Structure 1
Amino acid sequence: MVKLTGVGKGYGSVIALRDVSLEVGAGEVVCVLGDNGAGKSTLIKIVAGLHRHDTGTYEVDGRPVAFASPRDALDLGIATVYQDLAVVPLMPVWRNFFLGSEKRKGLGRLDVDLMRRTTRDELLAMGIDLRDVDQPIGTLSGGERQCVAIARAVYFGAKVLVLDEPTAALGVKQAGVVLRYIVQARERGLGVVFITHNPHHAYPVGDRFLILNRGRPIGYHAKDEITREELTALMAGGAELEQLAHELQATGTTAAARELNEDARELGITDDD
């Protein structure tokens, strides 16, 4: 559904992305992992149509594209749900669900009953059972707001969902709720690009994993090619942990060194590495 091949992006003398390739198929979750500054945000902006890539090719359904705006991406079924959700906290859930795409009847009046009913039905279809769609969306938990945004994108025709750190600011239980709805989106045949810095959230739901470091890909693996421990080691910079442990030992900070050594062992890193 979406394919990037050798994509690069620069801002003046700063190279934000270089030689990044990615494929997203129907009913598939592709996780893009990386620490701060890895290039995840730039990749999101390219896929979402906010920025154009400088090098490489971007294809949707096998056809090369160069979006001029996010509206062009939406028209082809690529919807992006950003971490800072575009919602109006004091408005009801149903108003936020149809924000900017309100249904009307006769003389331009809002069809409130239709929008309430549709919101309730679409959320139920995603497994979200809200007490009242008239409640302000700001009263929902972070996880529930994320799920409303996902259900909204699906209703308005999204074929590919790009999720920007949807679990970053959530607790364990709320993160689990969002991950469950990512799986449901996959089961409904959508392609999902899940941007995250947390391999423990990515591994249970992901089918493929792209790891970025300073704008460059350092790994692109199917789930059966990599374990969660190996994924964590790539993400965590295990070699740096090992080096720091040796430095602390050399300065006599043995307790901290032991702790770092334990972290390195958990990541499967040995002195030979």
Structure 2
Amino acid sequence: MTQPILEARNVVKRFGVVTALDHSDFDLYPGEILAVIGDNGAGKSTLIKVLTGALSPDEGQVLVGGKEVRFSSPLEARQAGIETVYQTLALSPALSIADNMFMGRELRKPGFLGKALRMLDRKKMEEVAREKISDLGVQTIQDISQAVETLSGGQRQSVAVARAVAFGSKVVILDEPTAALGVKESRHVLDLILDVKARGIPIVLISHDMPSVFEVADRIHIHRLGKRLCVINPADYTMSDAVAFMTGARQPDEMQMAS
């Protein structure tokens, strides 16, 4: 049986008297797009924060490649190859595309200039950024030195995804990537997600956009009341079925709950 690349087992997270995660499980397998859906307050965001080191679980385990990890910060998760693109994108509008791509990972010039004077190798960063953007087939960005604030919403999402793919060697997590985008730009982002999958990088897609979820996801993790309710194959269910599971109007059978 295939080993999940990222797992959570019996994870519990409490905030005072509120239990945000109640013995929650999670499995992401190599090369798949796993959508995570759930009603507001279901615990999706808390689960993702635990998986990416933004929160520490009170109980339970997080495993990467079958080995337990205890991330104390998102930086540690990034170092383990887990990159997250949040809904806010975490881009600096006044900086260039290249500067944003390498934010926190800046390249220094070789030799004395880099080591002693800490000078940045901007030429190299622009070359690599251009290569990564081109590799993803992003045709709408021509000038890698232009400020991010001059880009459209879809172009900004492309930069954030390209940054995650460039440095996320194991897993990319996307939080509402099509939120606030128009139809054309949403289409572009979905194509980008499929391209990332084609490179063999597994993706966690958190989204309320049901048509997009059912179009690109291989499996759908439905979160309800702080735990994984079930995992469904989008080919076997409708969007109405998924909403019914999310809201409690319909209960999954035992096979789905064991998935």
Whether these two folds match at TM > 0.5 is yes
Q: Which amino acid in the other structure matches residue 62 of structure 1?
A: G
- Which residue is equivalent to 1:73? 77
Give distance in 1, aligned partners of 2:62 and 2:217: 22
Contact 2:190 2:212 (C-alpha < 8 Å) held by counterparts: yes
Normalising by structure 2, we get a TM-score of 0.86
Contact 1:74 1:158 (C-alpha < 8 Å) held by counterparts: no
User: Which segment is superposed worse, 125-134 or 99-108?
Assistant: 99-108
User: Which segment is superposed worse, 173-182 or 209-218?
Assistant: 209-218
- Which residue is equivalent to 1:148? 159
Where 2:78 maps in the other structure, the secondary structure is: helix
Where 1:19 maps in the other structure, the secondary structure is: strand
Question: Which of 25, 32, 39 is residue 28 of structure 1 equivalent to?
Answer: 32
**Superposed CA RMSD:** 1.8
Unaligned 5+ segments in structure 1 are: 241-273
Question: Which of 182, 202, 213 is residue 193 of structure 2 equivalent to?
Answer: 182
Question: Which of 82, 87, 104 is residue 83 of structure 1 equivalent to?
Answer: 87
Deviation at 1:238, TM superposition (A): 8.3
Contact 2:154 2:188 (C-alpha < 8 Å) held by counterparts: yes
1:137 pairs with 2:141: no
Contact 1:89 1:136 (C-alpha < 8 Å) held by counterparts: yes
Question: Which of 169, 177, 186 is residue 158 of structure 1 equivalent to?
Answer: 169
- Which residue is equivalent to 2:234? 223
Change (3 A) 1:187 1:172: same
Deviations, residues 115-134 of structure 1 (Å, cap 9, x unaligned): 11111111010111212111
Question: Which of 106, 125, 133 is residue 115 of structure 1 equivalent to?
Answer: 125
Normalising by structure 1, we get a TM-score of 0.82
Name the larger-Rg structure: 1
Deviation at 1:19, TM superposition (A): 2.7
Question: Which of 194, 209, 212 is residue 223 of structure 2 equivalent to?
Answer: 212
1:45 pairs with 2:49: yes
Contact 1:161 1:193 (C-alpha < 8 Å) held by counterparts: yes
Higher helix share: 1
Deviations, residues 179-209 of structure 1 (Å, cap 9, x unaligned): 1111111111111111112211111110111
- Which residue is equivalent to 1:97? 101
- Identical positions, percent: 43
Question: Which of 13, 17, 20 is residue 16 of structure 1 equivalent to?
Answer: 20
- Which residue is equivalent to 2:183? 172
- Which residue is equivalent to 2:254? none
- Which residue is equivalent to 1:128? 138
Deviations, residues 42-93 of structure 1 (Å, cap 9, x unaligned): 0111011111122332110001112111122112111111111111111111
Q: Which amino acid in the other structure matches residue 116 of structure 1?
A: E
Contact 1:4 1:56 (C-alpha < 8 Å) held by counterparts: yes
- Which residue is equivalent to 1:246? none
Give distance in 1, aligned partners of 2:156 and 2:138: 11
Where 1:100 maps in the other structure, the secondary structure is: coil
Where 2:128 maps in the other structure, the secondary structure is: helix
Unaligned 5+ segments in structure 2 are: 251-259
Give distance in 2, aligned partners of 1:158 and 1:7: 25
Deviation at 1:239, TM superposition (A): 4.3
